Structure 1
Amino acid sequence: MAFQTTKQTISQPLLDTAASLYCSASPHPTLKSISDQLKSQGHLDITPLKVRRLLITAGVYKSELASQIQSLYDSGKTITEIMGIMHLSRTSVHSYLPYVINADDEETEEENLCQRPISLEQQKRCEQAMEQFQKDWKGESLWEVITAFAGCTFVTSKGLKFTYEVKQNRHGEPTNELVISRKEKTVTKATVIKAYEKLLELSAEDSEDGITADQAKESVPPRFPIPLSGPKKLGTFGASYLYPIFIKLGLITEYPMLSYFHLPFSDDIV
């Protein structure tokens, strides 16, 4: 999971060359053929997906899918959220978004799950917690992930920003409660696990394999992200705050999952 901003240099001549090759014939050449031509010119790291991104940046490539992804990104969705909504890989999502060139000709992409700077120590703790959770998918491990992200900014379905911290006891030790910044509400560990188990139950109900909720809890990995139209379906206190956290962690998508094979692809990569 990426937490830091990544930068790459992209030159205007490369952008112009890719656009020229694409517009040189009708019908347009495939992305792979353009990639091969650019590689023959010394651009050895240019893949077909990077070609598409160059063409989108140049404004010469249009498709319904590219418009859908750009619209989601403009609305504030993260790359992870778009992956869940569109059922695409991270690389594919990026290939449908234009490069952003700043004054120094550098691409700037923010893939930060936490919307504020975090220390290297917290970053490492977040990564380790996520790795463990993605190994066993247990409620206890999810709690460790959520506590690791304490202090990060989230947004409720109504557009209200909030953060949370782990409540400390009088000895300064962490407890099993989260203190939400808005109105200082608290959400307990038991509530988090209950909401997570509800997701597993919904996953079982949505399954075509006829598995039970108990079997879903033992399924590794579970069927994530789960389409969920709003926080009320979590059925727990504090659901309005847990809902956006679960979305950021890739457990929930706000939209019905789209079939990969029914997406409106309009290009020929191979």
Structure 2
Amino acid sequence: MKRWRGDPTEENFWGMVVSYAGIGFKTYSGLPFSYEIKKGRNGEYTKELWIDRREKSKSLAWSSVLLALKNIKGEVVDRPKALGDIRGVTYIYGMFYRFGLIDVPDEVKEKMGHPKDRKK
């Protein structure tokens, strides 16, 4: 996180996303999820996040995450769609809140938890 804050490059953001793999997040409606990143044949991480929400995992493309990142226009983001009409944006919203990139309305914090109060 510190590296990203000091030098907000895509590479540093990717490093932060990789470091949070397996950590618990919550969606806008308070549903828990986590993600994992698989390694390809060359041994490097693929640029795809696998959301573990139900029995079948859903994939989330790295390009979708970057698109949502570019759409952050203010500190408080009222709802996931405010980040754009992006596939998987409800998961991205939860991730960005946990990362401290966005703030959410108080009533949403009750459902999602208060990341600043939790140990990371």
Bucket of the pairwise TM-score, normalised by the shorter protein: 0.7 to 0.9
Give the equivalent residue in structure 2 for 1:252.
Answer: 102
Please state whether the residue corresponding to 2:50 is helix, strand or coil: strand
**Residues 1:193 and 2:66 aligned together:** yes
Q: Deviations over 1:97-118 (max 9, x none)?
A: xxxxxxxxxxxxxxxxxxxxxx
Counterpart pick for 2:92 among 242, 246, 252: 242
Aligned residue runs from structure 1 range 24-43, under 5 A: none
Q: Deviations over 1:122-155 (max 9, x none)?
A: xxxxxxxx12101122333222101111000111
Counterpart pick for 2:8 among 121, 137, 149: 137
Q: RMSD of aligned C-alpha atoms?
A: 1.7
Q: Which letter maps to 2:46?
A: T
The structure 1 segments of at least 4 consecutive aligned residues displaced by more than 6 Å after TM superposition are: none
Q: Which letter maps to 2:78?
A: S
Give the equivalent residue in structure 1 for 2:77.
Answer: 228
How many equivalent pairs are there?
103
TM-score by length of 2: 0.77
- Given that 1:143 and 1:193 are in contact with CA atoms closer than 8 Å, whether structure 2 keeps it comes out as no
Matched-pair identity in %: 36
Give the equivalent residue in structure 2 for 1:125.
Answer: none
Q: Deviations over 1:44-93 (max 9, x none)?
A: xxxxxxxxxxxxxxxxxxxxxxxxxxxxxxxxxxxxxxxxxxxxxxxxxx
Q: Deviations over 1:212-234 (max 9, x none)?
A: xxxxxxxxxxxxxx111111111
Q: Which letter maps to 2:64?
A: T
More helix by share: 1
- Cα distance in 2 for partners of 1:197, 1:187 equals 16
Please state whether the residue corresponding to 2:71 is helix, strand or coil: helix
- Given that 1:143 and 1:192 are in contact with CA atoms closer than 8 Å, whether structure 2 keeps it comes out as no
Question: How far did 1:188 drift?
Answer: 1.7
Larger Rg: 1
- Cα distance in 1 for partners of 2:93, 2:44 equals 27
